[in-house]
Structure 1
Amino acid sequence: MPGENDEKVSRCIIITGISGSGKTTTLHHLEDQGMFAIDNIPPSLLPQLFDVLRTHKAAVEHGVAAVVDVRGEALLHDLIEVMGFLRRSISDVRLVFLDADDAELLRRFETTRRRHPLGGIPILEGIAWERDVLAPIRDIADVVLDTSGLLPTAFREKILGELGSSREHVTLIVSSFGYKYGVPKDCDFLFDVRFLLNPYYSEELRPLSGRDDAVQTYLRNLQESERLMTSLLGFLELVLPLYGNTGKMQMHVGVGCTGGRHRSVAVAEWIGAHFREKGWVCTVRHRDIDKEARW
């Protein structure tokens, strides 16, 4: 039994509509926004699902997005009743109905070479059947969106705009590394800070790392560090939201020095602290920080 002090899911987006209209794509976009995503769930299980997700961090903080459609067959008929229950128990519930014209839907099925979910009937016949069965659900939808002719970027812009979701929910990953151990292969940007004076050559600082106050103070006192951080942070503040605008929900920045223990670690820590303070989701990793700890 959930405890009295358990948090609960306060946001829910139910996605339904005609097959081929973009339900799965919409689910992926909402998942990129941090929501807990689930595809093809019988409506009657939704209340139980929200009870279970009381302890799930992403579900509590960002909400739940679920696709419910004709793949559930007769189970779909419970959706209208379940929506009434959800509206009474969850503060922010929205039912999104996606549609497109017949020609567009037919083109999408032919492009992907997928059969209609009902199987055994022509695609256009299946679409007509769906429109008839889903008409009562469409009537109670909070958002009805026609996706005909929308290219991927425009589709994302429209669905997130309709649902009031952030376009800047980009996760920033900052990795320090040592060039002597190789360059990371999956970074979007690489910054070389080997031009900064190396604390390694100080006997007092050598055993420490860029996480330690003494090393950070040493580096902050360098004129080059101040100029570097002003330019570097300004650049990242420019490009980070632009990444979100184009649909890329993660940006990986690599910061390298010779051994990956002092200079790159300190700079990576400064970048992380700066963007976390501004409200961005930021993870800082130090790939090579322990490889020269013996010195």
Structure 2
Amino acid sequence: MDIENQGVKKCVILTGMSGAGKSTALKVLEDQGMFAIDNIPPALLSQLLLLLEKHRAAVRNGVAAVVDVRGDTLLDDFPAAIIALKAQVPEVSIVFLDASDEVLLNRFETTRRRHPLGGEGGFLDGIAGERWRLKPILELADMVLDTSALSLHEIRKKLLSKLCGSSTGGNILITSFGFKYGAPADCDFLFDVRFLANPYYIPSLQSLSGKDKAVQSHIWSFAEAKEFWEKLVPLLDFIAPLYLAAGKPQLHIGIGCTGGRHRSVAVAERIFSFFKEAFPAVCSLKHRDITREQGW
């Protein structure tokens, strides 16, 4: 991808109460491909985005940064920093994560963490002081997310629905491969298509690959191939959104044939086209063994 002069187009500022789930939210956005940074002074945000103008993930997916009470007096720069940021970046979102005092207290006692503003006082004193300190920032928030009764999965779902336009999010990766070279170890679902007619034994198709129309037409001309596709589509249509909604950032589907050049490539190409049209998730396609020597 040519990233010259593109710059960062999206920035999400995560702020709010200690123990409300900012670290969880940052991880969710990082799993979406965003460049993530924790506990940055507000005044440095503009400089950070300038520095990231040539960072591929930051340019492509955006930047997520946590700014909170750990910044101490540096937090006073937040309003001015946001004004500068909005003049610099087309899309800026401020997400304030909150929870009830009782829930925050329970979370701190469970994890045995020290509250950033605890000092010589107790947890409740620290929580009260933090609420007062963050009140000006709360008033600037574009989204307030109360995590008191939310599970990790529900926090993820709400964040992605608001910030990414999808309740599932995640990426779908389709990989074609040859079983003679071993199956990818990280596939979530693996389909063996060696039952399909093999174009390798057709002299005019042998030197081609599953990316070529002639090879694809040959494979899909058989009744069993057509029936396979008719059964595969409903399965993919059912499992893909459920699997991504379960919390994994990526669904990896492997398609294997003998050498990884003809049948698996043709099927992977068709699955990739299906997902690109049917799902909001980012889809990518990899032909692992397409250039390998196919001699036997």
> Same fold by TM (over 0.5)?
yes
Per-residue CA deviations over 1:59-113 (Å, capped at 9, x if unaligned) read 3444322110122222122112212222344343232222212221122223333
Report matched runs for 1:98-247 at 5 Å.
Answer: 98-118=97-117, 121=120, 122-163=122-163, 165-247=165-247
- The answer on 1:74 being equivalent to 2:110 is no
Determine the C-alpha separation between the residues in 2 that align with 1:143 and 1:270: 39
> 1:29–1:165: structure 2 CA closer, same or farther, 3 Å change rule?
farther
Corresponding residue number in structure 2 for 1:39: 38
Counterpart of 2:114 in 1: which secondary structure?
coil
93-102 vs 116-125, greater mean Cα deviation: 116-125
Where structure 2 has 5 or more consecutive residues not aligned to the other structure, the ranges are none
- Give the deviation of 1:201 after TM superposition: 2.6
Per-residue CA deviations over 1:7-44 (Å, capped at 9, x if unaligned) read 34343221111111111111222233343322111100
Determine the C-alpha separation between the residues in 2 that align with 1:85 and 1:248: 35
- Give the deviation of 1:291 after TM superposition: 4.4
Counterpart of 2:289 in 1: which secondary structure?
coil
Percent identity (aligned): 54
- Give the deviation of 1:57 after TM superposition: 4.2
Per-residue CA deviations over 1:219-260 (Å, capped at 9, x if unaligned) read 122222222223223322332222333332311111122333
Count matched residues.
Answer: 292
Contact 2:117 2:130 in 1 (8 A): no
Corresponding residue number in structure 2 for 1:22: 21
- Give the deviation of 1:156 after TM superposition: 2.2
Determine the C-alpha separation between the residues in 2 that align with 1:285 and 1:86: 37
RMSD between aligned residues: 2.7
- Give the deviation of 1:183 after TM superposition: 3.4
Report matched runs for 1:254-269 at 5 Å.
Answer: 254-269=254-269
- Give the deviation of 1:120 after TM superposition: 5.4
Contact 1:26 1:159 in 2 (8 A): yes
Contact 2:35 2:62 in 1 (8 A): yes
113-122 vs 94-103, greater mean Cα deviation: 113-122
Where structure 1 has 5 or more consecutive residues not aligned to the other structure, the ranges are none
TM-score (norm 1): 0.86
